[in-house]
Every structure is written in C-alpha cells, then in structure tokens.
Structure 1
C-alpha cells in the first residue's frame, strides 16, 4: 500500500465528514493525508475562488484534528470522476463524502461516489455523516472470493489500527426449494450445516495469521445486504469487496456492495484487488 490517504472535498457537509474521517484514519495508521478538490469550470467567474476556499477549509480542519500527520492540499482541474480515479492509483485509499454539492437531497449516494467506488484502483471509503459513537468493531463481508480477500486484508488493517474487534459476516442464501422439499428436512438441515461450517473454515486462516486480533464470525442464512446492514448498526466501519462470488464478470459494483452503500449509515469501505494483487 502507498503511504498516503487521499480525500476528495467540495465544501459539502458529507465531504467535510469525509475529511475528518480521513484525518483520523491517517493519524491511526501513520499515513500522510492528501486533500484534493477537483474544480470543474462552472460558468461563473468565482468558481475557482470557491474551490480554493473549500480546499483551504478542509486542510485547516484536518490539521486541527491531527498531530505529526503530513497534510497537503492540491487544487486540480478537469472531470471530477476521472481526477479522483487517477488519484486512487497511488493512494492507500480514497475517501469521499456520500453526496456532493451537486447531489439531490433525497439521494443516499451521489453519482460521483458510485462511479469512483466502482472504478478506483484501491479501497474507497464513503462517509455519510460524522459519528460521535464508537463501537470498537469493524465489520467485513466475506465469501472467500478474490474481492472479499482484499476486503478482509483492509478490514484487518482497520481493526488493528483501531484496537477493535473484527466481525466477519458470511451470509448465504438458501437455494429455492419446491413445495415437496419439506419431505427432506434432514437434508436441508445438513445443507445449512455444511454451508455454515464451510464459512467458518474460511475464517480460520485469518484468525491463525492474526492472533493479536479478536475475530468473531457469523454465518446467517439471509441475504448478505440484510445481514451486513444489521451488523453495521454496531460498527465503526463496514468493509465489502467491490464484487463477490455472485457478481457478473462485467459488473463494476456487485449487488452486495451496491446495497450496502445505499443502506448502511456508518462509513463503508469498498475494496477491489489492485492490479498487482490480481496478477
């Protein structure tokens, strides 16, 4: 991983929350913090001045919240999505607010956050609002896929930096059964037991390789989004892979990551394996 976190700001309340979260994360993990504002050229002469002001405010706030963290700021120009994706190439992670100034009030996640989460080179953390509550718990969705392996690695790092418990959720669906399946109750119970057993076994290597962490796990038989939303109620951050075992190869964001982004209120990290990790 690179030695700095990037946060994109635009002067909105969610972006301010994102800058504060990124500053705290940089402090915990001993990383530098780079704050950027991609200033699109609006048809108003004061647009550049506004961008510079928003960037300065975010930089000042980050410096107030940190100590011994190298905080830099840069005003960029061009397309916001393209610029932020480019920033992710060299960053440990990219942090964004859930909606920017251009978002509709009723939207949970704006178009920029959705596009960047689907195409960034590494982890993207989406922050909705500041949170005064602390649960000392990181939740991660895990199904053993390549994408969830990357999510687990990031979740482990987050849990260790926070001194927090890591809770692994391995939810799974019961396959559709015919009305006659009730006659095979023992077989269904065996299937459920085998699924839960396999999920627990996938977590064991992580527990063995990270004995310093408290790692708990659950194998609910329910839709993964529902299970993660419930677990998120007592989490400081929820981590998911950008796609899982059920994703189509052409999908940028899988249904689980998409659903979690829209329904979880705490910060959500969407993680995809970097190119070198996939090779």
Structure 2
C-alpha cells in the first residue's frame, strides 16, 4: 500500500470484462484527481486451515491467476490512459475485507457490476451493501446498458437529493464530477405528496453549491413517484448517478434491502454511493 499522503483511486480487478471497464473508468478519475490508480485483486483459499504442499500449490495458482488478471486490467488502462500512474496489489483474504482495508485513505473505490474469481457475486445479497455502507470513501459501481458494456461517456451527472445530511455530501461529489467531466448536473428530488415547499427546500440546499460552482449548469427536477424508478429513468441518458448512503423522505433506506440492489443492478450508467466522511 502506498503512503497515506498519496491520493489514490482504488479499482477492484477480477478478470471480468466488467472489472476491466471499471479499471479504465477509474483511471480517468485518477488522472482528473492527480491520483495514483491502485488495481487490487483478492483471492480466498478454500479450506484455509489445511496446510502442506497441496495448499502451497493452490496458493501459487491463485497468485499466478491474480497477476494475469492484473496484467489484463493494466493493459486495458494503458491502451486508453497511458499516462496514469498504477500500483498493483494482490492480497489473500475475503475480497470485501481486502477492499475495505484498501479504501482507507483512498479518494474513491471503483468496481464492476459483476465479476469472476474473487469478486464473484459482488452485487448479490449483502456484499455490495456492506461495501458501500462501510467503505472509507465513495464507491462507484461501473455499468453500461448491459452489465459488460462500456459505460456511457456523455450525458449529465444525476444526483438524488432528499435534504438529509449525507445527500449534501452526495451533492458535493456530484457537482465535482460534473465540473471534472465538463457536463451539467441534474438534481432529482422525489416526493409522494408534492407541495410548494419541496422546490424551495431543494433550492435552499443548492444555494451553497451554486455559489461554489457558478459555471455549473444545475437543472432541478421535482418528481412525484418512487425514488429508484425515477433515478433509473433519469439515468437512461446520464453518465453517472449519485446517491447518498442513507436518507429520509423519498430516499429512505436507499442502501437497505431491494432498493439499492435494484439501482445497482439495473442502472444503465455507473452509480456512485457517497457516505458522510464523518460516519463511523
């Protein structure tokens, strides 16, 4: 691991096309941030309590496969972003635990939408929820229209806003992403019962960010409907959808149960989950 003073964008690698797309996406982020790209491959030895020559051979095989997958990911990154600085990490252990450890001090953690090897089933059950809920930095799951498709390179950044404290963190992240990608920001607020106060509340929350980013075009959409369905619809023409890790009102429980899984599994563009920096 690099020194803690090094800016790092983390990308999980597992040999899948989705993970290679994520590594390329993460490389662009690293360049924009002046950061190091850290490619991480984690593997778990079956029956770790067993010792002897057989296990040593199995471990050597896993390590060799990990290096080959990292070679493939690095080659894909170099083809598009040859100037990016790259660090490679191979680790034995539970992939989520490894990624959580590597996320300490990182600016961003980036994953593919589905994978092979050590990251198999990353978006099944509680694994993705755990990573997004506990990583020490924002987490981006890179998707295209189909899971293995290249993510879109055009369109606005879309952020779900509900007035909660961590939605303000998500809003700041989304503003920075829109500026870095030279595009506009679409702020989406959903509510079951519309009232004149809804737009006023959103505009009050946006005031600081409009002042901070005067050159950024910010469009506000107040929509009556379900949050995930609405964000999926706006994500159809977006290059990134950003949400907070928890919320109130329309986005309550964004990372609990089937709500987050639907967004992460069905979005047609990358999805960023942003936790408050002060969260334990």
TM-score tier after normalising by the smaller chain length: 0.7 to 0.9
Compared CA separation, residues 140 and 132, structure 1 to 2 (3 A): closer
TM-score when scaled to structure 2? 0.83
Q: Is the counterpart of residue 141 in structure 1 residue 160 in structure 2?
A: yes
SS in 1 for 2:269: coil
Provide Cα deviations, 1:146-166, integer angstroms capped at 9, x if missing partner. 111111111111111101101
Provide Cα deviations, 1:95-125, integer angstroms capped at 9, x if missing partner. 01112216999x8933543331222111000
Counterpart in the other structure of 1:188: none
Q: Is the counterpart of residue 110 in structure 1 residue 124 in structure 2?
A: yes
Alignment gaps of 5+ in structure 2: 47-54
Alignment gaps of 5+ in structure 1: 175-190
CA apart distance, 1:211: 0.2
1:136·1:163 contact (CA, 8 Å) conserved in 2?
no
Counterpart in the other structure of 1:229: 232
Cα distance in 1 for partners of 2:221, 2:210 equals: 14
Cα distance in 2 for partners of 1:70, 1:29 equals: 12
Bigger drift between 257-266 and 151-160 goes to 257-266
Counterpart in the other structure of 1:21: 25
Equivalences for residues 118-197 of structure 1 within 5 A: 118-128=133-143, 129-131=148-150, 133-174=152-193, 192-197=195-200
CA apart distance, 1:246: 4.5
Counterpart in the other structure of 1:185: none
Counterpart in the other structure of 1:212: 215
Provide Cα deviations, 1:222-253, integer angstroms capped at 9, x if missing partner. 1111211111011101000011114999x792
Counterpart in the other structure of 1:11: 15
Counterpart in the other structure of 1:35: 39
Cα distance in 2 for partners of 1:273, 1:218 equals: 24
CA apart distance, 1:167: 0.8
Name the Cα RMSD after superposition.
2.8
